[in-house]
Amino acid sequence: MIINRIPNPILLTTRKQMIHDTLKTTNLVALESVMADPSSQIFADYMANIIKQIPNPGKLTLLTGTANSQVSFYFQSPTTSQINADLYNNILSPRVKGVGSQYGVNQAALLSSSFINGYNQIYLSLRYQLSQLDQATMQTLLAKVAGSITALRPIWNAWVDTFGPKPNSSSEPSILVPKLDMNDTNIALIQMTGTMQTTWLNPSFQEKLKADSSYPYQHMNDFDQIFSGIPLSVPAQMRDLIKQVYNAQGAAGGITAKQANATQILSGVRNNVQHPSQANGGLKLSGSDKMIPGMIFQPQDPMTLTNELGAYPTQGLTYSAIVTKSSSSTLTFEASVGGGISIPILDFFSIGLSGGAKTSIFNNDFAGSRFTIKLTVNNPTLQPIMTVTPMLYNITTQQGWLYVDPVKEAIKNGRNTDVTGFVFDGGVPSFHLEEGGDFGYINTLVLSQFLELSLVFEQCNSTEVRKYFEQYASATISFLGIPLGGVSQSSTYSYSYSNQTETTITVTLKPKAPGYTPGGTDITQSLCNLVAVGITYPFA
């Protein structure tokens, strides 16, 4: 059994508050900068109006800014089963903060701190306590079982030495049976009870014990059936002493059972978060030996997403907006709500030249001054949709890590000092745990092919416009700071020209399906467009 030594709660809380306030201030400054950026505002307008066209969009959310407009989508290596490090580090790991709604769609930002670290911080601040009445009852119970526990300890520990499961480093979980503490009757009782109701409990009785922790104590005639997992190697004397401990407590033993259950949860969750391994459901990241706490991906085969992205004929969602040239260096985007957004021409649309220089069609007088810019999202991955679920903690198998009930109970108990249950040391952590707060994680991703862009020139010299694009057909293109096709991947686009008259022309930049996928085995080099995400605020 692991006994967690909790530092001075006042000092601990102060230190945590200082760290959190620093991170919060840094995150807010960065977030305000992103949301004020005209490229981000325009991108949000386009994507929000596209998201609203998705059938049953529910709570689909747009990530603020353009930095995460493309993601590495091939989530698991077909040869090593490792998880895509880029996808995890850039999208799945960060904690998510809701930032309200704009253009009729919820928006959220990825924070610089990880969800796992915050979750670990919350679990480290949890403890389980007994009310004054239950403490008095527990002292009475300990007096009743002291003799039986004293007799049980050496027999139990000798059995563990001879027959107990041994720690191993294999991928198979090893459910360890702890030795009973030889000095503290309370700890020994909790250790014994924890083993009985997790490792040795008949699974068919799990729901009964969950509903009524005193059930085994009040149904001693069914003891052997309830705890049918007791190994045959356990000697009769050891079994009889365990029964004596249960008998002596009676219905009040439910207090012991709850305390043992809480101890198992706290130590198990903390261990699996801090020390992920194959045995407890952890996964290995690509490109390193780093393990992360377990996650469940659906669909299970990443090729399902690749095929969905590449389906033909394509299914597209579009949104068009009017853009006008307001000066030699500035465009004005007509937002769907709230008027115009002014943006430097090169920030809106640019073509990369050698030496890092940029040019834009909109810098040229022959392009005219009024344009319709249509954005198309092809083959959004909706059937099936991609989900990523944290592995729920299972107290019986000791696998997984996400367990929200203790945290919700601690939130409910608040600052009540005379209560039996989970509480926070030093008060509730300084996170915003409500729906739309700053403690969410991404659990759904809607992907698509790279963005398709149609530029409609309404008052132009169409011959010169076409000649311009033909001249730069192999150059890299950026729209709102987003590399079309990914960095150095303009070859994944084709150009087409339509509706050409002397003064009008439509230029369409269309991606090749399904998006960029690597020629080798480096899954982190896979790339496509991220349309929307779903967010879970687990403690709301």
For 210-233, what is each residue's pLDDT tens digit?
Answer: 999 999 999 999 999 999 999 999
For every residue of 216-246, DSSP letters joined together read HHH-GGGHHHHTTTS-TTS-HHHHHHHHHHH
DSSP SS3 for 123: helix
Write the single-letter amino acid at 140: T
Are 265 and 394 within 8 A, CB to CB? no
Quick one: pLDDT at residue 491? 53
Write the single-letter amino acid at 456: V
Whether the link from the prior residue into 514 is cis, omega within 30° of 0, is yes
DSSP SS3 for 341: strand
Residue 44, CA distances (Å) to 111, 370, 469 in order: 18, 21, 27
Quick one: pLDDT at residue 272? 97
Straight-line distance from the first to the last Cα atom of the chain, in angstroms, rounded to the nearest whole number = 31
- What is the pTM (predicted TM-score) of this model? 0.88
Are 425 and 12 within 8 A, CB to CB? yes
Write the single-letter amino acid at 145: V
* Phi, psi (deg, nearest 5) at residue 255: -65, -45
**Spatial CB neighbours of 305, under 8 Å, sequence gap ≥ 6:** 73, 74, 75, 299, 381, 386, 447
Q: How many CB atoms lie within 10 A of CB 81?
A: 10
Domain ranges of the chain: 129-279
* Phi, psi (deg, nearest 5) at residue 181: -60, 130
Rg (CA), the chain: 30
Q: Closest by alpha carbon to 47, among 480, 338, 382? A: 480
Q: How many CB atoms lie within 10 A of CB 84?
A: 26
pLDDT in tens, the chain (540 residues): 333 323 333 333 333 343 344 344 444 444 554 557 999 999 999 999 999 999 988 889 999 999 989 999 999 998 899 999 999 999 999 999 999 999 999 999 999 999 999 999 999 999 999 999 999 999 999 999 999 999 999 999 999 999 987 765 444 555 789 999 999 999 999 999 999 999 999 999 999 999 999 999 999 999 999 999 999 999 999 999 999 999 999 999 999 999 999 999 999 999 999 999 999 999 999 999 999 999 999 999 999 999 999 999 999 999 999 999 999 999 999 999 988 999 999 999 999 888 889 999 999 999 999 999 999 999 999 999 999 999 999 999 999 999 999 999 999 998 888 999 999 998 778 899 999 999 999 999 999 999 999 999 999 999 999 999 999 888 889 999 998 865 444 456 888 999 999 999 999 999 888 888 776 678 998 999 999 999 999 999
**Spatial CB neighbours of 235, under 8 Å, sequence gap ≥ 6:** 155, 159
DSSP SS3 for 129: strand
Are 134 and 142 within 8 A, CB to CB? no
**Pairing label, strands 62-63, 105-114:** parallel
Quick one: pLDDT at residue 11? 32
Write the single-letter amino acid at 413: N
Quick one: pLDDT at residue 32? 55
Q: How many CB atoms lie within 10 A of CB 78?
A: 11
Written as six digits, the tokens of 133 are 């009445």
Are 98 and 106 within 8 A, CB to CB? yes
3-state secondary structure 404-443: CHHHHHHHHHCCCCCCCEEEECCCCCCCCCCCCCCCEEEE
Are 377 and 316 within 8 A, CB to CB? yes
